[in-house]
Amino acid sequence: MTRDLGYIIILAAGSGSRFSTALSKQFMELQGKPIVVRTIEKYLKHFSANKIRVVIAEKHRVIWDKITDFFPHLKPIITAYGGSERFYSVRNALETISCSEKELIGVHDAVRPFVSDEVIQRVYQIAQAQGCCVPIFNSVNTLRLVHSDGNETIDRSSVKEVQNPQVFRNALLRNAYMQPYEKRFHDDATLVENLGYKIYTCNGNYENIKITYPQDLYLAEGLMKWFENKNNEISNIQDYKAIHVH
């Protein structure tokens, strides 16, 4: 494992109003493993367990305890309880972290299990230099701005989709979360920007989707297969080289 890049808060307290299943989407399985576990395991490659916080809903305590019985390597991870909005969940998690002002803290939705190792490293590296960083990705769709009296096409190259992790210096993130809650605060960058700070960005990865609707589970299963094939291709090339290239 590489040295800790900082801290990471993984938000797994959502009730999934857009998913409409009895079991919240972050606990549903992807090839036999809960989505939240897959997301945490991405971070365990870069962080020790004591630098990871997982925010769960209080009513999901039993589910979480069952998960950690099944995956004991997650037991050392400290949990915080979620609030009524994402904003309050992050705030609660920040209360469980005590570190220097300059230390980096990232925030990641549990339902984004496909973030790449490169993106995690890149975002933390840029945040180390600039104070914050957020991964973004080009839209593949043409975009239209809708207003009260009509709508118009906008230049899609100037509009980006925002992904996770969103990483900030501890002091900056804490200041941002001292602000009173506003409904338009959908992510951490919006809060930091509201304080007047510039948000630094870098390229995210296309597969880093947010599993939001039931159909996304099928997309996620497909992506798992895509990764398997990709890895098989790489090991086939390595086997080929080992045999044929001298």
Closest by CA position to 12, among listed 29, 32, 23, 26: 26
Q: How far is the CB of 155 from ligand LQXTBERG (least distance, A)?
A: 20
Question: How far, in Å, are 38, 107, 172, 214 from residue 175 at the CA level?
Answer: 31, 15, 5, 36
Out of 91, 156, 160, 210, point to the residue binding ligand LQXTBERG (CB under 6 A): 210
Residue 39 binds to ligand LQXTBERG (criterion: CB under 6 A): no
Residues 109-138 that bind ligand LQXTBERG (CB under 6 A): 109
Residues 79-98 that bind ligand LQXTBERG (CB under 6 A): 86
- Check: CB of residue 128 under 8 Å from CB of residue 104: yes
Residues 185-204 that bind ligand LQXTBERG (CB under 6 A): 186-187
**SS3 state at 3:** coil
Q: How far is CA 245 from the centre of its chain?
A: 40
Q: How far is the CB of 85 from ligand LQXTBERG (least distance, A)?
A: 9
**SS3 state at 122:** helix
Residue 36 binds to ligand LQXTBERG (criterion: CB under 6 A): no
CB count, 10 Å around CB of 44? 17
Q: Which residue's CB is nearer to ligand LQXTBERG, number 131 or number 165?
A: 165
- Using CA atoms of 55, 61, 63, 65 in order, give the dihedral in degrees to the nearest 10: 100
Which amino acid, residue 41? Answer: E
Residue 164 binds to ligand LQXTBERG (criterion: CB under 6 A): yes
Out of 49, 136, 162, 224, point to the residue binding ligand LQXTBERG (CB under 6 A): 162
Q: Which stretch binds ligand LQXTBERG (CB under 6 A): 158-166, 196-204, 228-236, 237-245?
A: 158-166
Q: How far apart are the first and last CA of the chain?
A: 31
Residue 241 binds to ligand LQXTBERG (criterion: CB under 6 A): no
Binding residues for ligand LQXTBERG, rule: CB under 6 A, are: 86, 109, 162-164, 186-187, 210
